[in-house]
Amino acid sequence: MMKSVFRSFILVTVTGLFLMGCRSNKTIPYFKNIPQAEYNKIEQAAYTELRIKEDDILDITIQTADVSASSQVNDAATNNSVASPGGAGQRVSGFVVDKEGEVELPVLGRVKLKGLTSYEARNLIREKANEYFVDPTVQVRFVNFKVTVIGEVNRPSSYTMPSERVTILDAIGLAGDLTIYGKRENVLLIRETDTGKELVQFNLNDSEIFKSPYYYLKQNDIIYVEPSKGRIAAAESSRFSVIAIIASLLSTAALIITRL
């Protein structure tokens, strides 16, 4: 029996290694359909600025020549601790956009920011700040620009991005790139919209990815990398080997008991 199990294990292992070799030769290189003469001519999708939505967390700072005057707003942002978009019990500082699309700012009061870009929000807040401060400088950035990368990558996790201009390749890079088992031709983007979820498939072997309107990511996007058949075969062979070891131990124990 053990010989039969061992032969099966060897067969599955060799098959898995063969499949890995096939993937290494055929599907691992990215953008392999780009002629070298076209390297400087690749078209890219236009970047669309992010729009502020409900439940977004914004870092808003106001600077003026009178530091003590603007510190009322900035100190409030620092002390306004909310749950981190990355989870894990962490908390971050910022102003949360409520269900009415507004934020509550000290001194300035309620300001509606929903639907605006960070640039437009900065200009609107600056207009209001001019009523209270002299020559204010305003900065607005997203604190909750989180992207989750799962599946066959080296470091699956949720990542908070330091910049608004983030591509799917940036997110995959943060996750340590795909493992040898990741299917480059089937990377799935899951995006939450007002009307439901959007599912978009990417093929990292194809340069058309650069032209996709989904090339640039948005808040809370999820990227899933499908495992290849080689990964499934490897997982199955590992499971079978554990079963074989347990069966062997049980057989040995039974033999010892019968001889007592």
- Write the pLDDT tens digit of every residue in 109-138: 999 999 999 999 999 999 999 988 888 999
* Beta-carbon-side half-sphere exposure of residue 126 (alpha carbons within 13 Å): 14
For 110-172, the DSSP string reads EEE-TT--HHHHHHHHHHHHTTTSSS-EEEEEES--EEEEEESBSS-EEEE-SSS--BHHHHH
Question: Taking the domains of the chain in order of start, what are their residue ranges?
Answer: 2-21+231-259, 31-35+145-227, 57-142
Which residue stretches of the chain have pLDDT < 50?
3, 5-6, 9-14, 17-26, 86, 88
Q: How many residues make up the chain in this entry? A: 260
The answer to whether domain 31-35+145-227 and domain 57-142 are alike in fold is no
Q: What is the pLDDT of residue 154?
A: 95
Q: What is the pLDDT of residue 43?
A: 73
CB neighbour list of residue 80: distance below 8 Å, 6 or more residues apart: 93, 94, 95
31-35+145-227 CATH: 3.10.560.10
Q: Which CATH architecture has domain 57-142?
A: 2-Layer Sandwich (3.30)
The backbone torsions φ and ψ at residue 168, rounded to the nearest 5 degrees and listed phi first, read -60, -30
Interior angle at CA 30, CA 42 and CA 153, nearest 5 = 130
Q: Which of 94, 84, 147, 148 is nearest to 121 (CA)?
A: 94
Q: Which of 205, 225, 203 is nearest to 214 (CA)?
A: 203
Q: What is the pLDDT of residue 199?
A: 94
The predicted-structure confidence for 143-167, as pLDDT tens digits, reads as follows 888 999 999 999 999 998 888 899 9
